[in-house]
Amino acid sequence: MDAGQAKLGRKDALQLAKQTSKIIVAKSRRVQTFDMQRDQPQEAELLKALLGPTGNLRAPVVKKGRTLLVGFNAEVYEDVL
């Protein structure tokens, strides 16, 4: 899906999160990992990490298996992909 064409908001971000077992959010050099199986984060904390300043899901977003990558960090992409 092209994020430029389809904006994914709060509801869509939560729906994506529920379909995964691990979420990795990269903001510049900072990387935050959420284990959705063992220690589910609070909805507010998860949305704060997933949504950008416009209220839409941050880009780029890649779903590989049950892992969701949000944002860009070259090292994380190299490890996961």
Q: The pTM is what?
A: 0.86
Q: Are 57 and 9 in contact (CB under 8 A)?
A: yes
Could you tell me which residues are beta bridge partners of residue 61?
70
Q: What is the pLDDT of residues 12-29, one digit of tens each?
A: 999 999 999 999 999 878
The structural domains of the chain, with segments of one domain joined by +, span 10-80
In terms of Cβ atoms closer than 10 Å to its own Cβ (0-12, 13-18, 19+), residue 42 is exposed
Q: What is the pLDDT of residues 29-77, one digit of tens each?
A: 899 999 999 988 999 999 999 999 989 998 888 999 999 999 999 999 8
pLDDT of 4 reads 59
Place of tokens 């880009």: 59
